Amino acid sequence: MSEIKNHKKLFIPGPTEVRKEILEEMSHHMIGHRTEEFSSLFGQIKPKLQRLFYTQNDVLVSTSSGSGFMEAAIRNCVSKKVINCVCGAFSQKWYKIALSCGKQASKIEVEYGKAIKPQMVDEALKTGEYDAVCVTHCETSTGVFNPIEKISEIVKKYPDVLFLVDAVSSMGGTKIEVDKLGIDICLASVQKAMALPSGLSVASVSQKAYERAKTIDSRGYYFDLLELQKTYEKNQTPYTPSISHLYALRKQLDYIVDEEGLENRFKRHRQMADFVRNWAVENEMKMFSELGYESDTVSCISNTKGFDLKSIKQELLNKGYLADTGYRTLNEKLTQEGKPTTFRIAHMGDMQMTDIQDYLNEIETIFKRGK
Amino acid sequence: MSEIKNHKKLFIPGPTEVRKEILEEMSHHMIGHRTEEFSSLFGQIKPKLQRLFYTQNDVLVSTSSGSGFMEAAIRNCVSKKVINCVCGAFSQKWYKIALSCGKQASKIEVEYGKAIKPQMVDEALKTGEYDAVCVTHCETSTGVFNPIEKISEIVKKYPDVLFLVDAVSSMGGTKIEVDKLGIDICLASVQKAMALPSGLSVASVSQKAYERAKTIDSRGYYFDLLELQKTYEKNQTPYTPSISHLYALRKQLDYIVDEEGLENRFKRHRQMADFVRNWAVENEMKMFSELGYESDTVSCISNTKGFDLKSIKQELLNKGYLADTGYRTLNEKLTQEGKPTTFRIAHMGDMQMTDIQDYLNEIETIFKRGK
């Protein structure tokens, strides 16, 4: 693996850096997926995932990216019509997925950078048109945390509406109390704040969600929650999963839940987020995300000073860092000087405060020289 | 990884043994999936996959098991009605997947252990009812190779019919000339004869298949071939793939295509298959699969001598081998003495003749002692 010399430290919002001992688990030899050895492995993972999700619900595992579970949520939970809360590229993607599955879908839409407000959800649900609502907890493209706690209070008023939450880039970086919030499906990718190699996703599924699935035909096979449930009970999967990822997941969950501990982990993320936000202000830049709704896992900063982000990215690359120059579609509208309008700094996963400090120092040096 | 001591050598029909240098590739550090580094990696994989598939078609990669591409084939290629050729558990599963996707589907069915004959396909297609036919090349549950060369001659007579082939457990173990046979979708799992860790699947897609997909709504997102095509052209994937698997795949393709060489690889599989079949006859057992249609990658043997396969499996386990005691549903009907009616010996992947010889010697010793 000669590329190891060229390794760039990742400050993009996923994949994030994976610790060496977790990468090593990926090299585990293969085992039969219909053996007791496999069931024992999966059986050890399940309760730890439940602790991470603060839930008694099943937490299913899918060999797919988070997009797979986004599709699963739609296929299995939308019978009548879904309302998608759109505030950026990934929440927009979920809306498109709903349409691609042939479902009836509408959207609540706010300007990119803004958060979805609970009353908007209330207005929509009041119409009685919908039986599911999709909320993206962390909108990765704009660095916004949507207020899922407050939204959950609204959704609870509508017992026939399923609450579907995309926690792709927040799970493992902030507390999401699935049972307390009454989230019917909470889905996450492992290559973000959970700091695992990409290729697996996880989702909690409530009894209500399973019941809804039973009323829907044409759920398909690969993302059929009832197929996944059937084998989950036996510590199995319906088809051969990525066994390598399950070994890595087991080890990383031990670290997240027991070694570092959930509260410590969330605190560390909050501290890194605060540090980045303060740094932005000190450098006379503005957060792109709405005040009070900034994400704890990824910061999106407006390029108000017109920095030449592309050449800065190249300089950082030469120094061994992979930087982000803003989400693709957000940067389709450039500044007047033809420069990207935003850039993002990910502060999630197993990264420590010192990593963020070093990285920001590097950026600041380049900024200052550029002046 | 303390389990390494307990490693059982796999003689089950997938996952198969993975060589150490391939397992090591799985520990590659993460990279951004929207970087040139990623595109370079994917770009190196594509032509090697095309050589393995004997095709100029795109060979797409999916972070999912082979079941995922089975669903993709159905969703994207069946507009009118599909005919499924069923001769075992996995071909039956494909039929069920078609129904689960809300498609019109019928089946040609033969007794488990038998092969699908070309004229059966001709009879079905003659009706003009169908616009796609699903054939499982290697029916893993029964050790049958269906005659896809002869079937391809039939399918070619019907230009509106797409030819969909499941090569999950044969690709990499025998020659499948996709372009020559006019296969529109040829799908495979990597954890079988390709000898990679489970968690990824690959599929060639013809222009005709893409054209069909364009006429079909509600293809969904995760398995939408047109989404996959769009990014494939740019050496990208629509969503974050399993990067670890792609590193392993690149290395293993170098081995399969260039180091060992395709012809050598297929010859080795044929030799191992012949050896197992002869061994079965020498031990006065019968092949479960129809004469002349035996698979080169997995042998299914009738337990005509009433061996106590469960205790033999346990003995083999103690000696460090993971044996198969027949496919689940096949063994639901047991022999009169309550014993499994079949067992399978996988001879696929990177396993060598000596591995098979050692394994069969072990079994023979147990057999003889049991007498």
pLDDT tier, A337 (very low <50, low <70, confident <90, very high otherwise): low
Taking contacts as CB-CB distances below 8 angstroms, the residues of chain B near A234 are none
3-state secondary structure A144-195: EECCHHHHHHHHCCCCCCEEEEECCCCECCECCCHHHHCCCEEEEECCCCCC
Closest CA to B342 of B160, B88, B94, B124: B88
8 Å CB contact between B138 and B169: yes
Give the separation between CA A56 and CA A61, rounded to whole angstroms: 15
For B237, what's the count of Cα atoms within 13 Å in the CB-facing half-sphere? 26
Same domain? For A76 and A113 the reply is yes
Does residue B216 belong to the interface with chain A, where contact is any CB pair within 8 Å? Answer: no
Same domain? For B224 and B320 the reply is no
Which SS3 state, helix, strand or coil, does residue A327 take?
A: coil
Record: contact A97-B221, CB cut-off 8 A = yes
Q: Which residue has the higher pLDDT, A223 or B307?
A: A223
Q: Which of A64, A101, A218 is closest, CB to CB, to B64?
A: A64
Closest CA to A303 of A329, A325, A319: A325
- What residue has token string 């850039």? A343
Task: Identify the pLDDT of residue A1.
Answer: 43
Using N-to-C axis directions, what is the helix angle for A207-214 and A225-232, rounded to 10°?
Answer: 130
- CA separation, residue A359 to residues A275, A325, A352, B30 (Å): 12, 15, 11, 18
Record: contact B15-A25, CB cut-off 8 A = no
Structural domain count, chain A: 2
pLDDT over threshold 80, residue A308: yes
Taking contacts as CB-CB distances below 8 angstroms, the residues of chain B near A245 are 199, 242
Record: contact A220-B4, CB cut-off 8 A = no
Task: Identify the pLDDT of residue B42.
Answer: 98
Does residue A214 belong to the interface with chain B, where contact is any CB pair within 8 Å? Answer: no
Looking at residues A86-98, what average pLDDT do you find? Answer: 97
Pick the residue of B63, B90, B251 with the most A CBs within 10 A to test the interface with A by mutation: B63
Which SS3 state, helix, strand or coil, does residue A300 take?
A: strand
Taking contacts as CB-CB distances below 8 angstroms, the residues of chain A near B32 are 8, 10, 12, 15, 322
- What residue has token string 């498109």? A96
> DSSP character for A3?
G
Give the separation between CA B49 and CA B58, rounded to whole angstroms: 9
Give the separation between CA A195 and CA B235, rounded to whole angstroms: 25
Record: contact A17-B3, CB cut-off 8 A = no
ipTM of the predicted assembly exceeds 0.85: yes
- CA separation, residue A319 to residues A1, A311, A312, A349, B355 (Å): 20, 13, 11, 21, 48
Q: What is the pTM of this model?
A: 0.97
**What radius of gyration, in Å, describes the C-alpha atoms of chain A?**
21
Record: contact B240-A63, CB cut-off 8 A = no
Between residues 139 and 178 of chain B, which touch chain A (CB distance below 8 Å)? none
pLDDT tens-place string over residues A113-149: 999 999 999 999 999 999 999 999 999 999 999 999 9
pLDDT over threshold 70, residue A169: yes
Same domain? For B82 and B103 the reply is yes
Give the separation between CA B94 and CA B71, rounded to whole angstroms: 8
Same domain? For B58 and B196 the reply is yes
Same domain? For B37 and B185 the reply is yes
Which segment, A239-248, A308-317, B324-333, is predicted with the most confidence on average?
A239-248
Same domain? For B206 and B339 the reply is no
8 Å CB contact between A98 and A85: no
Give the separation between CA B246 and CA A245, rounded to whole angstroms: 14
Task: Identify the pLDDT of residue B1.
Answer: 43
Task: Identify the pLDDT of residue A336.
Answer: 61
Taking contacts as CB-CB distances below 8 angstroms, the residues of chain A near B330 are none
Task: Identify the pLDDT of residue B333.
Answer: 64
User: Which residue in A has a C-alpha nearest to residue B94's C-alpha?
Assistant: A221
Give the separation between CA B214 and CA B210, rounded to whole angstroms: 6
Q: Which of A7, A197, A221 is closest, CB to CB, to B243?
A: A197
Q: Are strands A185-189 and A162-166 parallel, antiparallel or unpaired?
A: parallel
Chain B: closest CA distance from residue A69 (Å): 9
Record: contact B27-A23, CB cut-off 8 A = yes
Q: What is the CATH number of the domain that holds B41?
A: 3.40.640.10
> DSSP character for A64?
S
Looking at residues A263-288, what average pLDDT do you find? Answer: 97
Same domain? For B248 and B103 the reply is yes
Does residue B3 belong to the interface with chain A, where contact is any CB pair within 8 Å? Answer: yes
Helix then strand count (H, E) for chain A reads 13, 13
Chain A: closest CA distance from residue B66 (Å): 8
**Residue A132 phi, psi (nearest 5):** -160, 150
CB-CB neighbours of A262 under 10 Å: 15
Between residues 294 and 353 of chain B, which touch chain A (CB distance below 8 Å)? 322, 328
Closest CA to A167 of A128, A194, A142: A194
Chain B: closest CA distance from residue A243 (Å): 6
Q: What is the CATH number of the domain that holds A352?
A: 3.90.1150.10
Closest CA to A153 of A184, A121, A175: A121
Between residues 192 and 211 of chain B, which touch chain A (CB distance below 8 Å)? 197-200
**Residue B58 phi, psi (nearest 5):** -60, 140
User: Which residue in B has a C-alpha nearest to residue A250's C-alpha?
Assistant: B1
Does residue A131 belong to the interface with chain B, where contact is any CB pair within 8 Å? Answer: no
Record: contact B221-A96, CB cut-off 8 A = yes
Give the separation between CA A306 and CA B318, rounded to whole angstroms: 67
**Mean pLDDT (chain A, rounded):** 95
Which of A225, A253, A281 delimits the end of a domain? Answer: A253
Which SS3 state, helix, strand or coil, does residue A33 take?
A: coil
Which of B187, B219, B253 delimits the end of a domain? Answer: B253
Chain B: closest CA distance from residue A173 (Å): 19
Give the E-state strand segments of A231-291 in sequence order: none
8 Å CB contact between B299 and B280: yes
Record: contact B8-A31, CB cut-off 8 A = yes
Residues with Cβ within 8 Å of residue A29, at least 6 apart in sequence: B3, B4, B7, B17, B18, B23
Same domain? For A211 and A268 the reply is no
**Structural domain range at position B362:** 2-12+262-370
Q: Which of A26, A198, A219 is closest, CB to CB, to B26?
A: A26
pLDDT over threshold 80, residue A3: no
Taking contacts as CB-CB distances below 8 angstroms, the residues of chain A near B67 are 221-222, 238-239
Same domain? For B303 and B247 the reply is no
For A215, what's the count of Cα atoms within 13 Å in the CB-facing half-sphere? 9
8 Å CB contact between B173 and B296: yes
Task: Identify the pLDDT of residue B339.
Answer: 72
Token pair of A331 as six digits: 């940067």
Looking at residues A202-230, what average pLDDT do you find? Answer: 97
**What radius of gyration, in Å, describes the C-alpha atoms of chain B?**
21
Same domain? For A62 and A173 the reply is yes
Task: Identify the pLDDT of residue A127.
Answer: 98
Task: Identify the pLDDT of residue A2.
Answer: 42
Taking contacts as CB-CB distances below 8 angstroms, the residues of chain A near B75 are 220
pLDDT over threshold 80, residue A371: no
8 Å CB contact between A317 and A10: no
Spell out, as residue ranges, where chain B has pLDDT lower than 50: 1-3
Q: Which of A16, A26, A222 is closest, CB to CB, to B244?
A: A26
Which of B253, B279, B309 delimits the end of a domain? Answer: B253
Chain A: closest CA distance from residue B4 (Å): 7
Distance of CA B143 to the CA centre of its chain: 11
Same domain? For B205 and B347 the reply is no
Record: contact A23-B23, CB cut-off 8 A = no
Between residues 42 and 81 of chain A, which touch chain B (CB distance below 8 Å)? 63-68, 70-71, 75
8 Å CB contact between A134 and A101: no
Looking at residues A262-281, what average pLDDT do you find? Answer: 98
Between residues 226 and 245 of chain B, which touch chain A (CB distance below 8 Å)? 238-245
3-state secondary structure chain B: CHHHHHCCEECCCCCCCCCHHHHHHCCCCCCCCCCHHHHHHHHHHHHHHHHHHCCCCEEEEECCCHHHHHHHHHHHHCCCCEEEEECCHHHHHHHHHHHHCCCCEEEEECCCCCCCCHHHHHHHHHCCCCCEEEEECEECCCCEECCHHHHHHHHCCCCCCEEEEECCCCECCECCCHHHHCCCEEEEECCCCCCCCCCCEEEEECHHHHHHHHCCCCCCCCCCHHHHHHHHCCCCCCCCCCHHHHHHHHHHHHHHHHHHHHHHHHHHHHHHHHHHHHHHHHCCCEECCCCCCECCCEEEEECCCCCCHHHHHHHHHHCCEECCCCCHHHHHCCCCCCCCCEEEEECCCCCCHHHHHHHHHHHHHHHHHHC
Q: Which of B12, B65, B218 is closest, CB to CB, to A32?
A: B12
Residues with Cβ within 8 Å of residue A124, at least 6 apart in sequence: A83, A106, A108, A130, A133
Token pair of B77 as six digits: 């290629």
Taking contacts as CB-CB distances below 8 angstroms, the residues of chain A near B222 are 64-65, 67-68, 71, 222-223
User: Which residue in A has a C-alpha nearest to residue B95's C-alpha?
Assistant: A221
Same domain? For B210 and B122 the reply is yes
Task: Identify the pLDDT of residue A307.
Answer: 87
Taking contacts as CB-CB distances below 8 angstroms, the residues of chain A near B224 are 100
Token pair of A191 as six digits: 């290559």
Record: contact B241-A71, CB cut-off 8 A = no
- Percent of chain A at pLDDT > 90 equals 90
Give the separation between CA B118 and CA B150, rounded to whole angstroms: 6
